[in-house]
Amino acid sequence: MSTIESILKETRSFPPSDDFRRKAQISGMEAYNALCEQADDHYLSFWGDLARELIAWKKPFSRVLDDSNAPFFKWFDDGVLNVSYNCLDRHLPLNANKIALIFEADDGEVTRVTYSELHRRVCQFANGLKSLGVAKGDRVVIYMPMVIEAIVAMQACARIGAIHSVVFGGFSAGALRDRVQDAGAKVVITANEGLRGGKTVALKATTDEAFELGGCESVSSVVVYQRTNNGASKWTEGRDVWWHKLIEGQAEECEPEWVNAEDPLFILYTSGSTGKPKGIQHSTAGFLLGALNSFRWIFDYKPNDVYWCTADVGWITGHSYITYGPLGHGATQVIFEGVPTYPDASRFWRMIEKHKVSIFYTAPTAIRSLIKLGADLPAKYDLSSLRVLGTVGEPINPEAWMWYYEVVGGGRCPIVDTWWQTETGSAMIAPTPGAVPTKPGSCTLPLPGIMADIVDESGAPVEPGKGGFLVIKKPFPSLVRTIWGDPDRFRKTYFPDEFEGKYYLAGDSAHRDESGYFWIMGRIDDVLNVSGHRLGTMEIESALVANPLVAEAAVVGKPHDIKGEAVVAFVVLKGSRPSGDEARKVADNLKQWVAHEIGKIAQPDEIRFGENLPKTRSGKIMRRLLRSLARGEEIVQDVSTLENPQILAQLQEAAN
């Protein structure tokens, strides 16, 4: 690790304008530093005060942190609250008629929902779930398109104390089945079809397929929201129930289930380097606090803002920065069903103009693809409502950063590059935009209260410019509590013995520059970041070897202009090594196979066939070598131990 040197030499720095700084919640570096010092000196009261300020408690907590069973930390654990109450009911006295959601459908139709209307819809649906026997602690899988009802479903679970597990609508039947099974879900909520980019997505049919695979026996009901007029291809009587039928006649009030601070709010599955996806389990109060506090700090949120996060609720960004953080603040937000390139690459800019968006939060991959499809398009729209621009999901390259800053933000809006993870629940390293000057490509400095550092193998801090492991040295409220059903894996993965179980290991490498700014370099494990989505190489490999033609497979990433990383698969077939047209045909089939097994996001961009894979004497696949091959780099590794050096030549050539 210590040999990793910075590849970025970025020296430009952009302080906030005087006007922005003056009006900001955290105004100027003195204010930022003062908060950091407060957190340093009085860590527990720092978090305790925030929890009292930002959360409405049914019963206040008496203890901030219980670390007696580290790393299984408990925060505010004798406090009692309800997240849906915090996101809805508490806004009603003053803001019942404020718009909560501005929903823009794929076809451009706009629906506005006020806080009182959202409250009514959540209560009705919560009562509907109760009528299906869903009770506190039950797991509910949500497999939905990006529509209002996805948010209603999540909030309704929170209202009755059920634990939701949202599965991204692009995932396959197999991926859905695995998640339903691991969580032991009682109910699955889906839609007959989704709509994206003018095409339908067969959500109900995929759900049926997941059930046919077996393993979903814990599920007693499937609730189906009717998004399109097409109905549903199949219907299982006694199990399937239409959303609109379920809420018919349900009361419009639903007393929140008051839960303990540490009761789980949700599970969200994410890729690990090995084994099956991990059910990241988040707590109720700690998660809510992280979402609420970071939301106002990173976006300098003000009550008259129009906020838009382009993420899907299938990812953590949609949890923290659509369903919970903004609603918890009573914000007005745009939610979007479609894709940035439909009907054309102006969609985002047109929507910003139309809805007068003031805070916009998206991913580098979207920015890069929109630059490619029309760098001059933003200039055709009135984007003067914008005041803060955010990015998340992967490192943003300085060129894309500068375009975002100048062309979209008119040189006026701070770029808030937010580093965080499914596991951290909320943003960790990001500028508070009224204080911290930004630098293109850096997520800048940790938020006050987040003790992030970069260390070597022994846990000692590394000097500026040197790469190391990104760690967080103290527990914080929104940190993952455990891996659902696997506490041992939780401890080993995130609090490894190398650091005496004391530091949270993020799994990213990073370095710091002379002014202490963090620069994220990438994952240290075999996790790919494709279009801002985490994919375990292991999952793609398992999918490939599950194909009857495949004997062995290894998957690595290589840099990609738009997606960040592209998936390259090295495959050994059971028969002989194919070439020419036949290789192309098999490669195409295997790509479709992976799309079907996991989802289109995991589909390899490139497949290379060999008679074998390069292995060490002990039989371990030499992944670093494969990475060099994928990138077309010169092979500098020692290959003298290879059984058959000739395979290197074979693996240099892509089949497609």
Binding residues for Mg(2+) are: 545, 550
Which residue's CB is nearer to ligand WTA, number 126 or number 392?
392
Minimal distance, residue 400 CB to ligand WTA, in Å: 12
CA 79 to each of CA 60, 65, 76, 263, 264: distance values in angstroms, whole numbers, following the listed order: 5, 12, 6, 11, 14
Q: Are 309 and 163 in contact (CB under 8 A)?
A: no
Q: Give the whole-angstrom CA distance, residue 52 versus residue 60.
A: 8
Which residue's CB is nearer to ligand WTA, number 79 or number 414?
414
**Among 77, 530, 24, 32, CA closest to 260:** 77
Minimal distance, residue 606 CB to ligand WTA, in Å: 22
Minimal distance, residue 103 CB to ligand WTA, in Å: 23
Which residue's CB is nearer to ligand WTA, number 215 or number 398?
398
Minimal distance, residue 270 CB to ligand WTA, in Å: 5
Which residue's CB is nearer to ligand WTA, number 118 or number 289?
289
Minimal distance, residue 526 CB to ligand WTA, in Å: 12
Which residue's CB is nearer to ligand WTA, number 336 or number 361?
361
Tokens at 156, concatenated: 């309704």
Minimal distance, residue 469 CB to ligand WTA, in Å: 12
Q: Are 448 and 38 in contact (CB under 8 A)?
A: yes
3-state secondary structure of 597: helix
Minimal distance, residue 477 CB to ligand WTA, in Å: 17
3-state secondary structure of 23: helix
Buried b (16+ CB within 10 A) or exposed e, 215-247: ebebbebbbbbbbeeeebeeeeeeebbbbeebb
Which residue's CB is nearer to ligand WTA, number 389 or number 443?
443
- What lies within 8 Å, CB to CB, of 595 at 6+ separation is 172, 602, 603
Which residue's CB is nearer to ligand WTA, number 256 or number 507?
507
Q: Give the whole-angstrom CA distance, residue 648 versus residue 642.
A: 10
Q: In angstroms, what is the C-alpha Rg of the chain?
A: 24
Minimal distance, residue 362 CB to ligand WTA, in Å: 12
> Which residues is 279 bridged to in the sheet?
269
Q: Are strands 306-309 and 65-66 parallel, antiparallel or unpaired?
A: unpaired
**Among 516, 511, 510, CA closest to 465:** 511
Which residue's CB is nearer to ligand WTA, number 477 or number 614?
477
Q: Are 504 and 494 in contact (CB under 8 A)?
A: yes
Task: Identify the DSSP state of 395.
Answer: P
Question: Residues annotated as binding site?
Answer: 196-199, 317, 393-395, 417-422, 508, 523, 531, 534, 545, 550
Which residue's CB is nearer to ligand WTA, number 79 or number 409?
409
Question: Residues annotated as binding site for CoA?
Answer: 196-199, 317, 531
Question: Residues annotated as binding site for ATP?
Answer: 393-395, 417-422, 508, 523, 534
Q: Give the whole-angstrom CA distance, residue 563 versus residue 400.
A: 13
Minimal distance, residue 522 CB to ligand WTA, in Å: 6
Which residue's CB is nearer to ligand WTA, number 270 or number 547?
270
* φ/ψ (deg, to 5) at 626: -65, -35
**Among 429, 489, 448, CA closest to 71:** 489
Q: Which helix (H) or strand (E) holds 488?
A: helix 487-494
**Among 114, 113, 116, CA closest to 92:** 116
CA 591 to each of CA 253, 568, 587: distance values in angstroms, whole numbers, following the listed order: 49, 11, 6
Q: Give the whole-angstrom CA distance, residue 134 versus residue 304.
A: 37
Minimal distance, residue 391 CB to ligand WTA, in Å: 6
Which residue's CB is nearer to ligand WTA, number 395 or number 468?
395
Residue type (1 letter), 200 = T
Q: Is the peptide bond before 15 cis (omega within 30 degrees of 0)?
A: no
Minimal distance, residue 288 CB to ligand WTA, in Å: 17
Minimal distance, residue 219 CB to ligand WTA, in Å: 26
Which residue's CB is nearer to ligand WTA, number 95 or number 273?
273
Helices marked H in 279-320: 285-298, 316-318
Q: Give the whole-angstrom CA distance, residue 316 versus residue 301.
A: 20
Minimal distance, residue 263 CB to ligand WTA, in Å: 23
Considering only the C-alpha atoms of the chain, give the largest distance between any 2 of them, rounded to a whole number of Å.
74
Which residue's CB is nearer to ligand WTA, number 61 or number 469?
469
Which residue's CB is nearer to ligand WTA, number 84 or number 529?
529
Q: Where do contacts with ligand WTA occur on this chain (CB under 6 A)?
A: 270, 315-317, 392-395, 417-422, 443, 506-508, 520, 523, 529, 534
Residue nearest to ligand WTA (CB): 422
Q: Are 556 and 626 in contact (CB under 8 A)?
A: yes
Buried b (16+ CB within 10 A) or exposed e, 340-354: bbeeebbbbbbbbbe
Minimal distance, residue 609 CB to ligand WTA, in Å: 30
Question: What region does 158 belong to: left with phi over 0, alpha with psi -120 to 50, or beta?
Answer: alpha
